[in-house]
Chains A and B, each alone.
Chain A
Amino acid sequence: MEAVQARTTASKRRNNAEQWRALVFLSPSFVLLLAFFFVPTILTFYFAFTNMALTGAAAADTQFVGFENFKNMFQDASFRTSVWNTIIFLIFSAVIGQQVMGFIIAVLMNGRSRVFRSVIGSIVIAGWVAPEVVCAFVWFAFLNDTGTVNTFLQSANITPIAWLYTFPMVSVIIANIWHGTAFSMMVFQAALGDVPREVEESAMIDGANAWQRLTRITLPMIVSSVTTNMVLVTLQTLGSFTLIYALTGGGPGLATETLPIYMYHQAFVNYQLGYGTAISLMLLLIGIIASLIYMRMLKVKL
C-alpha cells in the first residue's frame, strides 16, 4: 500500500516537473507568437474600426469610427475593382493555371525516362525556387517592349505588343503560373506515384483508352490531393503581393490592383492605416475561412 502511494507521488512529482519543463521549453514560442503574430492579428480587428492615419488630423487623434471604414469600402469603386481583380487573378493563375499546368506536366512525366524527367522538373522548379522579386524582374524583361517575346514577334513580322500595358492582367497571370506551377506539379507527382500500377494496367487490358483511364481512374484516386492543393494554392495566391507589385505596381490604372496591393496603397501611399487595416481584415477573413477548410481537409490526428 505504502509502496503504491510512494510510486504515485513520485510519478506525480515527475509529472509536475514535466509540466514545468514543458512550459519553459514552450515559452519562447509562446512569447514570439503572441507578440509578433497573434497580437497584430487580433489588433487587425480593432484597428479596422479606427480612423488611424500617418498624416493629417487623424494622425494625432485616432478615434473609433465604427463601421465607417467598411461603409466607405463597399461604396469605393476601386475596392470593388480590386476584389474582382483578386478573384480573376486567383482563378486563372492559381486554381486553373498552376493546377492544370502542374497536372499536365505531372501526368506526362509519369513513366518517362529519369534524365528527361529531372531536366524538365528542374527547369519548372527553378521558376518556383527563384525569389519573387527575381521572377518579377525576369518577366519584366521577358514581356518588355524590347523584350524576348517582342523580339520573337518581330522576327515573325508581327508588330510588338506592350504586354504590361495592353494585357496587364494576362501578363501577371502568366508570370504567376510560371512561378507557382512547380508546387502543384510536385504535389500531383507525389499523388500519381501512389496510384497502383496494377489498377491502370487492368483498366488497359479491359480496353479503357488513355483519356478514360485518366478521368475514371487516375483523377478519382488523387482527388483528395487535388482539393488540398487547391486550398494551399489559393492561400498562397491570396497573399501574393511581390510579383504583381514589382511587375506592374497594380497598374496601369487599377488594372492589376488586387486586394493586397490596394491595401498597401491605402495604408502606405495614402497613409490611411485604419482604412488599410479594414481591407486587410477582409483578406484575413478570407484567409481564415480557407485555412479552416484546409485544416478540415487534412484531417490531422494529433
Chain B
Amino acid sequence: MSTVHDVPRTRTRKRKLNRFAVARVLPYIILTFIGVLFLLPLLWLIFASFDKDATLALKFPVHFTLDNYRDTVTNQENQLSFANGLILALGQALLVVIVAGLASYPLSRYQMRYKRPFMYVILFATGLPLTAVMVPVYQFFLYFGMQDSLFFTILFLTASALPYSIWMMKNFMDSVPIELEEAAWVDGASIWTTLRLVIVPLMLPGIFTVGIFAFSGSWGNFLVPFILLQSANKLPAAVTIYQYFGQNGMVQYGMLASFSVLYTIPAVALYIIGQRYMSQGFSFGGASKG
C-alpha cells in the first residue's frame, strides 16, 4: 500500500513510478480475479447449505438456518451412507497402512533379487488409470460372487491404493536410520519388538501420510462403490449424493448442499492435517528433477 503514498511525493519520476506501481499491483489484481472465479462455485454450496429456501443461484442466505444440517444429520438414510463411507475408507486406510508398512520393511532394509523388478512394477502400477480395469474387475467380482460386498470392496480399494502406498512407505522407511534398529538388536530385541518400539514410532509421520492419502482417496471415490455395490443400504455418501441430484423433479438444494458440505469436511480436514507430513513423503519430487 505504501506505493499509493509514494507516488505524489516525487512528481518528476511520476511516470516511472506509475509503471512500477502497475507492475506491482497487476499480479494482485489478476490473482484476485482468478481467486474470485474459483471461489464462486464453492461459495454457492456454502451459502445454500445455510439457506432455508436455497435456489441454484448464488445468494446470501437471508433466512440463515441450520435446519438443512439438522435434517441431513437426523435422516437415517444419510447416516447409513456416511457410515458406509466411513467403513470403506477407514477399513481400506487401516489395511493399506498395515500391508504397505509390512512390505516396505524388507524393501527398504534387505538385499533381494526381486526388489528392483518389484519396485518397477509398483511404480508402473501407480500410473495405470483405475477406470480402465473397472469392467474386468466387475466381471471378476461377479464370477466369484464378491459383488455387493463392503468387505471385498475394501479389499479392492486396498489393492488399488497399494502401489503408491508401498512406494511412499518405502521412502519413509529409507529415512529411518538403521543404526537405531541395530542398537535394539544388540540389546536382544526381536524383529517384532524392534518394529513395534523403534520403527513404528519413528515412522508415524509416514504412516499418517499414507493413511490420510488412502482414506481421502476412498472417501471421495465414486466409481468403485458405484460399480461394485448395488444394495441401497450399502452405498456410501459419494453415491448417495449422486443419486440425490441425479433424480429429476423437486430437489431440496439446501439439504443437498449441507450433505455435500458435511461430506467434503473430512476430505478438507485430512488434507490440512496431512499437509504437515506431506513434504516428507514425496521423494517423487526429488527424483523428478532427473
| Interface of A toward B, CB cutoff 8 Å | 18-19, 21-22, 25-26, 28-29, 32-33, 35-41, 43-44, 47, 52, 101, 104-105, 108-109, 112, 116, 119-120, 123-127, 129-134, 136-142, 144, 146-148, 150-151, 178, 181, 190, 194, 210, 224-225, 228, 231, 235-236, 238-242, 246, 260, 263-264, 267-268, 273, 276-277, 279-281, 283-284, 287-288, 290-292, 294-295, 297-302
> What total of A-B pairs shows CB separation below 8 Å?
271
Q: B132: which of A44, A131, A147 is its contact (CB, 8 Å)?
A: A44
Chain A residues with CB under 8 A of B58: 148, 151
Q: A228: which of B132, B160, B267, B288 is its contact (CB, 8 Å)?
A: B288
- Asked if B151 is at the interface (CB within 8 A of a chain A CB), the reply is no
Whether the Cβ atoms of B242 and A133 lie closer than 8 Å is yes
Q: Which residue of A lies closest to B165 (CB)?
A: A29
Nearest Cβ on chain B to A122's Cβ, whole angstroms: 9
- Asked if B280 is at the interface (CB within 8 A of a chain A CB), the reply is no
B-side interface residues, number (CB < 8 Å)? 88
Whether A29 touches B162, Cβ cut-off 8 Å, given contacts A224-B288, A224-B290, is yes
Stretch at the interface among B6-14, B68-76, B104-112, B176-184: B104-112
Whether the Cβ atoms of A239 and B263 lie closer than 8 Å is no
Q: A37: which of B103, B123, B159, B191 is its contact (CB, 8 Å)?
A: B159
Whether the Cβ atoms of A112 and B41 lie closer than 8 Å is no
| Interface of B toward A, CB cutoff 8 Å | 23, 27-28, 30-32, 34-35, 38-42, 44-45, 48, 55-58, 98-100, 102-103, 105-107, 110, 112, 115-116, 118-120, 123-140, 155-156, 158-160, 162-163, 166, 191, 216, 219-220, 222-223, 227, 238-239, 241-242, 245-246, 253, 256, 260, 263-264, 267-268, 271, 284-285, 287-290
Most buried by A among B42, B238, B241, B268: B42
Q: B267: which of A109, A130, A299 is its contact (CB, 8 Å)?
A: A130
Chain B residues with CB under 8 A of A29: 99-100, 102-103, 162, 166
Q: Which residue of B lies closest to A47 (CB)?
A: B136
Chain B residues with CB under 8 A of A125: 271
Chain B residues with CB under 8 A of A44: 132-133, 135-136
State in angstroms the CA–CA spacing of A235 and B132 once bound together: 11
Whether the Cβ atoms of B42 and A290 lie closer than 8 Å is no
State in angstroms the CA–CA spacing of A123 and B6 once bound together: 32
Q: Which residue of B lies closest to A54 (CB)?
A: B142
Whether the Cβ atoms of A112 and B31 lie closer than 8 Å is yes
Task: Enumerate the 10 nearest inter-chain pairs by beta-carbon distance, A residue then B residue, closest first.
Answer: A239-B129, A291-B127, A131-B220, A22-B106, A36-B159, A239-B131, A283-B132, A29-B103, A148-B58, A151-B57
Whether the Cβ atoms of B124 and A291 lie closer than 8 Å is yes
Nearest Cβ on chain A to B278's Cβ, whole angstroms: 10
Whether A268 touches B132, Cβ cut-off 8 Å, given contacts A32-B99, A40-B140, is no
Whether the Cβ atoms of B267 and A36 lie closer than 8 Å is no
Whether the Cβ atoms of B245 and A140 lie closer than 8 Å is yes
Q: Which residue of A lies closest to B34 (CB)?
A: A105
Whether A137 touches B288, Cβ cut-off 8 Å, given contacts A144-B56, A273-B139, A300-B123, is no
Whether the Cβ atoms of A120 and B267 lie closer than 8 Å is no
Most buried by B among A129, A131, A240, A283: A131
Chain A residues with CB under 8 A of B285: 190
Whether the Cβ atoms of B41 and A131 lie closer than 8 Å is no
Main secondary structure of the interface of A (DSSP, over half): helix
Chain A residues with CB under 8 A of B290: 224, 297-299
Query: Could you name 29 residue pairs across A and B whose Cβ atoms are closer than 8 Å?
Result: A19-B110, A33-B125, A36-B137, A36-B158, A39-B140, A43-B140, A52-B139, A105-B34, A120-B35, A123-B39, A126-B268, A127-B41, A131-B238, A133-B220, A133-B222, A134-B45, A134-B264, A136-B242, A138-B41, A142-B40, A146-B56, A178-B38, A246-B246, A277-B136, A287-B132, A290-B127, A300-B287, A302-B115, A302-B120
Chain A residues with CB under 8 A of B23: 210
State in angstroms the CA–CA spacing of A139 and B32 once bound together: 21
Most buried by A among B106, B134, B156: B134
Chain B residues with CB under 8 A of A290: 127
Q: Which residue of B lies closest to A154 (CB)?
A: B57
Nearest Cβ on chain A to B48's Cβ, whole angstroms: 8
State in angstroms the CA–CA spacing of A295 and B121 once bound together: 10
Contacts A37-B159, A126-B42, A260-B131 known; list 20 others, CB within 8 Å: A25-B105, A28-B102, A41-B133, A47-B135, A52-B139, A112-B31, A116-B31, A120-B35, A124-B38, A127-B41, A130-B42, A133-B242, A147-B56, A151-B58, A239-B130, A246-B245, A277-B136, A291-B127, A300-B287, A302-B116
State in angstroms the CA–CA spacing of A163 and B234 once bound together: 34
Whether the Cβ atoms of A119 and B35 lie closer than 8 Å is yes
Whether A134 touches B263, Cβ cut-off 8 Å, given contacts A37-B159, A241-B131, is yes
Q: Which residue of B lies closest to A41 (CB)?
A: B133
Whether A120 touches B31, Cβ cut-off 8 Å, given contacts A151-B58, A235-B127, is yes
Nearest Cβ on chain A to B233's Cβ, whole angstroms: 19
